[in-house]
Structure 1
Amino acid sequence: MALTVKIDRFGFKGREAFIDPHATLSVVNSIGTLVEASQDTPIARDREETSEGTYVVFDRSVHVQTPVSELEEDVAIFLEFKHYKPKKKKTSTKAWCFFTLSELDPSLDQQRIAMEIYAKPTDLSRRRVGLLSVKKLYAHVECLLRTE
């Protein structure tokens, strides 16, 4: 069984102008070690303003390389929102989120998840977690489980 994560959008408060925003997907075990190489998405497609806040729209899919049957149940899928900072001439992580495989229902082929967005730095061990904002902000993804 293979897992594809379609990154729909990240929500942020205010009208932030991110330059070349993209996401990095990482598969991490319970002690915070990468299970496979991290993957970057192409640059986000669009931005949209709603009553809940500003969203950076990705509409991009990332395929987890390791078959689900070979992953431990407590494995987490991390998503980091990154953007370019011209003054510092580097790419910076703005925020991150994660979900575990145990949160997915294996009987469903397709399921949507809304994850809370946490402030940097990214903690792969999942111990130091702090919300990015007081306002309810979410990252929206769609998980596709398919048998091959």
Structure 2
Amino acid sequence: MWMLVLFVLQLFLRSAEKMVELDGDHELDEQAAAELVNATSQVAVMRSPGATYLDIRINKIGLKDASVYVNPSIAVSVLNGAAIAFEFFHYKAKKRKKSCRCWALLEMDEVKDGPVVLELYQKPMDPTRKRIHLFTEKELYLQLELRLQTL
């Protein structure tokens, strides 16, 4: 039986030295500033022996305008036990809300040890894949490192 332990992973697209300074039009409210401060906190999860776990490491996400995103993050969720969805969110200062920019889908038949490359799709997320469109015409991907562990 698969037991998936997934976290909401924070993705830092630029180093601290290259942080974009916000001007007067992009002032953050107090809640958004607090999210930026606590962006790296993660919760430890106990793993029970005898179960199989999937560890996911996000190596890279191909975004051509990466420097303009404020508080970027990737939400990871399991859909009906058949797929894992990755949604790229960022904070919109003018609207004071988080917005989904693009998403990717990892199906269970694609789960294996080693590197995996997923295509990025335009929002809104459609896990049924009936009406999906690629994020851009360029080859931009979500690059993951998967590791299966049996304890």
TM-score normalized by structure 2? 0.62
Which structure 2 residues correspond to residues 113-132 of structure 1 after superposition, within 5 A? 113-132=116-135
Match of 1:139 in 2: 142
Match of 1:5 in 2: 56
Q: Secondary structure at the match of 1:12?
A: coil
Following the alignment from structure 1 to structure 2, what is the Cα–Cα distance between the partners of residues 141 and 127? 24
Report how many residues are paired.
100
Match of 1:54 in 2: none
C-alpha deviation, 1:16, in angstroms? 4.3
Instruction: Read off the aligned partner of 1:9 and give its amino acid letter.
Output: K
Q: Which has the higher strand share?
A: 1
- CA change 1:15–1:8 in 2 (3 A) is closer
User: Relative contact order (C-alpha < 8 Å, sep 6+): which is higher?
Assistant: 1
Instruction: Read off the aligned partner of 2:101 and give its amino acid letter.
Output: K
C-alpha deviation, 1:100, in angstroms? 0.8
**Where in structure 2 are there 5+ consecutive unaligned residues?**
1-51
Mean Cα displacement is larger for which, 10-19 or 88-97?
10-19
Match of 1:22 in 2: 73
Superposition RMSD in Å: 1.4
Aligned identity (percent) is 35
Q: Which has the higher helix share?
A: 2
**Where in structure 1 are there 5+ consecutive unaligned residues?**
30-70
